[in-house]
């Protein structure tokens, strides 16, 4: 597979499962062949979340598949990876998570213009089942309305 210039891997379920309150862009510490695998688009943040350990933020359960052209020095696919944020942002996030019971989830894994891997993370609150049903109902009504408009205009 060819290496892509701009990679954008999205967590598609995040906006359905959580109510997004605030977003941040964080750098990510990668080892060895991880960046090459990400540039090939072989990563997933679908089931991942962020957690504090010794006032440092780590992304847990993020999958970066092994790089195909690597030797025996390949990386572990599901290891935890450190996120790089300003100290003030880290303190704000840690306070919100501890006091409010909110969670931090990754929304998008991407590469910037310089080729560095970045993660857009969000401070989020889990949605209840009835909130999810409301979203589905709104989406269906919008589809129905657009079908009616399209049929009316033709």
Domain residue ranges in the chain: 8-127
User: Hey, what CATH class is 8-127 in?
Assistant: mainly beta
Q: What is the pLDDT of residue 71?
A: 67
Q: Could you tell me which residues come within 8 angstroms of residue 88 by beta carbon, excluding any fewer than 6 positions away?
A: none
State how far the Cα of 41 lies from the Cα of 125, in Å rounded to an integer.
28
Q: What integer pLDDT is reported at residue 76 of this predicted model?
A: 72
Q: Residue 4 has what pLDDT?
A: 60
Rounded CA separation 148/154 (Å): 10
- Which letter does DSSP use for residue 66 in this model? P
Q: What is the predicted pLDDT for the residue at 143? A: 92
> Which residues, other chains included, contact 82 with Cβ-Cβ below 8 Å and sequence gap of 6+?
28, 29, 56, 57, 58
Give me the pLDDT at residue 79, please: 84
Rounded-to-integer distance, Cα 60 and Cα 62, Å: 6
Tens place of pLDDT per residue across the chain (154 aa): 556 667 888 988 888 888 899 999 999 998 878 888 888 888 889 889 999 989 899 999 988 887 777 666 777 778 888 999 999 999 999 998 988 889 999 999 999 888 889 999 999 998 888 778 888 898 899 999 999 988 888 7
What is the reported pLDDT for 58? 93
pLDDT of residue 114: 87
Q: What is the DSSP string of 93-134?
A: HHHHHHHH--EEEEEEEEE-TTS-EEEEEEEEEEPPHHHHHH
Which residues are CB-neighbours of 3 under 8 A, at least 6 positions away? 36, 39, 40
Residue 16 CB neighbour total at 10 angstroms: 12
């Amino acid at each position: 597979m060819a290496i892509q210039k701009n990679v954008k891997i999205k967590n598609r379920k995040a906006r359905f499962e959580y109510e997004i309150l605030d977003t941040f862009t964080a750098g990510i510490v990668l080892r060895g062949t991880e960046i090459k695998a990400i540039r090939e688009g072989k990563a997933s943040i679908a089931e991942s979340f962020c957690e504090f350990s010794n006032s440092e933020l780590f992304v847990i359960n993020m999958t970066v598949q092994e790089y195909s052209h690597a030797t025996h020095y390949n990386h572990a696919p599901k290891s935890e990876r450190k996120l790089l944020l300003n100290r003030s942002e880290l303190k704000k996030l840690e306070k919100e998570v501890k006091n409010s019971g909110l969670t931090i989830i990754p929304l998008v894994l991407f590469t910037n213009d310089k080729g560095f891997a970045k993660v857009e993370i969000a401070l989020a609150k889990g949605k209840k089942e009835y909130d999810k049903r409301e979203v589905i109902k709104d989406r269906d009504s919008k589809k129905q309305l657009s079908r009616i408009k399209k049929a009316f205009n033709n």
